Chain A
Amino acid sequence: MSSFEASVNSNVVKKLKALIVDDDTITRMILKALLMKFGVKTHEAKNGQEAILAHHSGACFDLILMDLYMPIMNGRQTTKELRDMYVCSLIVGMTSQEKEEEKKSFMDAGLDYYYQKPLTNDESHYLVEKIKGNALSLSKLKSIDLIHMLIY
């Protein structure tokens, strides 16, 4: 890897942002600590409505961790609404729900992945690698655009 690529990589990782959407304080604390270990900056929302409001005010995230059962607006409705707003972040559903039909309707709302709570170290590592890959491809595309702009 060239030093230029290494510096692009480290800049991309530094800028990774995640939104934790969960009404449970314990879950938010643990997810925050887990993601911080991998260098991801976290923001929190206590229900779906807060997550939607954050996006309305211009926030965008590489990763959204979404609980299913929350007061005011649940994870399924929130995911659907975010996708309707063309939010293309990696959205990962997390529940302690075992019922297959609940999982399926949550996935159908627009999730990329679904995990049983609590999220493990390996699972969060996998997700961070995934968003790092997405962010790197995006930054490469932007560099290509920039080169094109300079040439033409």
Chain B
Amino acid sequence: MEVGQLQRSFVEYMASLFREGFLDAQFSQLQQLQDDSNPDFVVEVVSLFFEDSERLLNDLTMALDQPNVDFKQVDAHVHQLKGSSSSVGAQRVKNCCAPFRNCCEEQNTETCLRCLQQIKQEYLLVKNKLQTLFELEQQIVAAGGAIPMLQ
């Protein structure tokens, strides 16, 4: 595929991620922080987000599998997940956190498990979308083009 076409696909794909609510303005802010002195900034931050989220989702799965669930602990994990998802602008993951924390307050294992399923699903979706976005970026760079900035 020629560079121009790759760049157009990139812009369209990125616009769809914002339109469908996967990403919010915070992600654009991360992109603006990336420059020649910090060329891999977005990928580095997002990779850390993947690592943190996977660890937290594992911890949550184990915590909710205990016979006596420690809801304070569960709430603390969700609080962390809310922090890291809002830091990278993973809006749909972030939006799952408030109802999850309400279920923790009500100490309801069943609804907590439902929230966990939903948050896992949203996480996998956004991870997949971001990986596709980064692959497109790599293809543009490999073809000798510049990454377009979305206003």
Contacts and interface: CB of A to CB of B under 8 A. Distances in A.
B44 interface: yes
Interface string A16-34: 0000000011110110011
B82 A96 contact: yes
B127 interface: no
Nearest to A31: B87
Nearest to B29: A121
B86 A118 contact: yes
B4 interface: no
Contacts of B84: 24, 26
B44 A29 contact: yes
**B-side interface mostly:** helix
Nearest to B97: A96
Contacts of B49: 26
24 contacts: A24-B80, A24-B83, A24-B84, A26-B48, A26-B49, A26-B52, A26-B84, A26-B87, A27-B83, A29-B41, A29-B45, A29-B48, A30-B30, A30-B87, A33-B33, A33-B41, A96-B79, A96-B83, A117-B83, A117-B86, A118-B26, A118-B29, A120-B29, A121-B29
A14 interface: no
- Of the four ranges (under 10, 10 to 19, 20 to 34, 35 or more), the interface on chain A belongs to 10 to 19
A69 interface: yes
Nearest to B25: A120
Contacts of A26: 45, 48-49, 52, 84, 87-88
Given A27-B83, A29-B45, A30-B30, 4 more contacts: A30-B33, A33-B38, A34-B33, A117-B87
Nearest to A121: B29
B9 interface: no
A69 B87 CA distance: 16
A27 B87 contact: yes
A55 interface: no
